[in-house]
Amino acid sequence: MRRTGATEELDLDDTIKSTARNAGLLDIKMVPERHNAVKVLLFLDVGGSMDPHVKVCEELFLSGADRVQAS
C-alpha cells in the first residue's frame, strides 16, 4: 500500500503570519507532506509465553494496518 493524495499540505501558521505581513492579502503557504518514519520489529515465540499479549498485539497491528507501506 502506498499513500495517495496531495504531495503538499497547508501550513496554517505560516499562511496566517504571511497574510498578516502582506496587509491582509491572502498568501497561502504549503509544505511537503510529512511521512511517518516509524518502523516496528517484533519478535514472538511459539512456546506460549506471549499468549497473554495476543489481544493487545492484534489491536495494535490492526489499527496500523492501513498505514503500512510495502517495500
Q: 14 is written with which cell numbers? A: 505560516
27 belongs to a structural domain:
yes
| DSSP H or E run through 8 | strand 8-10
Given pLDDT bands bounded at 50, 70 and 90, which one contains residue 30?
very high
Q: Is residue 21 part of a domain?
A: yes
Confidence band of 58 (pLDDT split at 50, 70, 90):
confident
Q: Rounded to an integer, what distance in angstroms lies between the CA atom of residue 54 and that of residue 47?
A: 13
Tell me if 2 is assigned to some domain: no
> Looking at the domain assignment, is residue 1 inside a domain?
no
Q: Is 30 in contact with 9 (CB distance < 8 Å)?
A: yes
> What is the domain range of residue 22?
8-67
Q: What is the pLDDT of the chain when averaged over all its residues?
A: 80
Find all residues with CB under 8 Å of 69, minimum gap 6, and list them: 1, 2, 3
Instruction: Give 42 or 9, the one with higher predicted confidence.
Output: 9
pTM of the model: 0.45
Number of structural domains, the chain?
A: 1
